[in-house]
Amino acid sequence: MKWRNKAGLMAGTLIGSGLFAMAATAEEQLNYFTWSGYEVPDLQKGFEAAHPGGLASTLFGDDDEAFTKVKAGFKPDIAHPCYDKLEHWKEAGLIQPMEISKIKNWDKIFPVFRDLPGMVEGDKTWMVPWDWGNVSITYRTDLIPDAEQSWRLLWDPKYKGQVASIDSVHDTPLVAGILAGVDPFNMDDAAIAKVKDELVKQRDNVKMYTTDMTSVEQALASGELVAAMTWNASAVALKKQGVPVEYMNPKEGMLTWACGYVMIKDTPHQDLAYEFINDRLSKEPGQWLVENYGYGASSAESMGAVAPATLDELRLPQDPDAMLKKTIFIKTIHNSDKISKMFEEVKAGG
């Protein structure tokens, strides 16, 4: 009998302490669902000072996975997807718009981000843009001495099996759309078929479709890859390690992405959420983001606080409004689900 009692006791304790742990976290805590790396203490000193222990961050490594998790029932208060996925979150009824009047530093956000279509409706906004960056080609200057300054480089049969491309509808198929001469944000079936042809042409060149920049940078460092579609931070990191690379300014234009905060529907912690967002839009967090991760901040104040030399080294402009007129902003892509399927099919060999 004894062993059974013991087992019962143990199970009881386990369940009991589990319930206790849950009760403890149900207090006034803001549950923040974000990219891995955005939960570091340096980014939330202000919020932490006002609410010690008031922030619980749950992390993801990919905002498609994050969307799936929330759709399956996970309930954070605030999430941090990218703008190009905003329509998904809206359509699925997972988020609610926020009142602009409660966002203190809204006016400090560069207009180019505030004016993105589908963001603001009247006096409310679906997303508060916070970080942004560029996508282009990082290539080895020693292995491709006179590189054509064009996205076509990733299609050049000379580099068969030696390039990498980003595994996301809003990057590789978008570039293929630009090269195929269609409007990549409004594709009908005929345009999708054209893009598919373009992607199939590229496939033999591609060693890997991935978002794992660790592998991409390593392969560029070893010479296994000669060129790859990357974020701007990769080129900077490689240069620092003494790898001869350059970040291209393709004649068709770099891509620009932006991510931001959305409020999950019916969150019980609205006030905390606004406080958190206001803190994030203050000068220091944005400045930290630029200086440590090499991405851009949406706040003019934060960007202004970064030394111009640092921005230069990071290939970031002081005034994104001017620069972003020349890049291709990654907007909502119509039919993106269909394009996703087509892209998966191409990657798999169809």
Residues engaged in binding another protein (CB under 8 A): 3, 18, 21-22, 25-26, 31, 35-37, 40, 56-62, 64-65, 67-69, 71-74, 88, 91-93, 161, 168-169, 203, 206-215, 217-219, 221-224, 234, 237, 241, 243, 337, 340-341, 343-345, 347-350
Closer by beta carbon to another protein, 62 or else 291: 62
Q: How far is the CB of 71 from another protein (least distance, A)?
A: 8
**Amino acid type, 192:** I
| Minimum CB distance to another protein, residue 232 (Å) | 13
Is the Cβ–Cβ distance between 311 and 317 less than 8 Å? yes
Closer of 100 and 200 to another protein (Cβ): 200
Shortest distance in whole angstroms from residue 300 CB to another protein: 26
- Tell me whether residue 89 or residue 151 sits nearer to another protein (CB atom): 89
CA-based max dimension of the chain: 81
Shorter beta-carbon distance to another protein: residue 1 or 190:
1
| CA 105 – CA 282 distance, rounded (Å) | 7
Which among 49, 247, 11, 61 has a CA at the least distance from the CA of 136?
A: 247
User: Closest separation between CB of residue 102 and another protein, Å?
Assistant: 25
Nearest to 163 by CA among 180, 197, 140: 140
Q: Give the nearest distance from C-beta 231 to another protein in angstroms.
A: 8
| Alpha-carbon distances, residue 234 vs 34, 176, 191 (angstroms) | 21, 22, 32
Pair type for strands 328-329 and 124-125 = unpaired
- Shortest Å distance, C-beta 67 to another protein: 7
Q: Phi first, then psi: give them for residue 36, nearest 5 degrees.
A: -55, 130
60's enclosing H/E stretch is strand 55-60
In the complex with another protein, the residue whose CB is nearer, 137 or 300, is 137
Please say which residue, 200 or 305, places its beta carbon nearer to another protein: 200
| Interatomic CA distance for residues 185 and 206, integer angstroms | 24
**Secondary structure class of 252 (helix, strand, coil):** coil
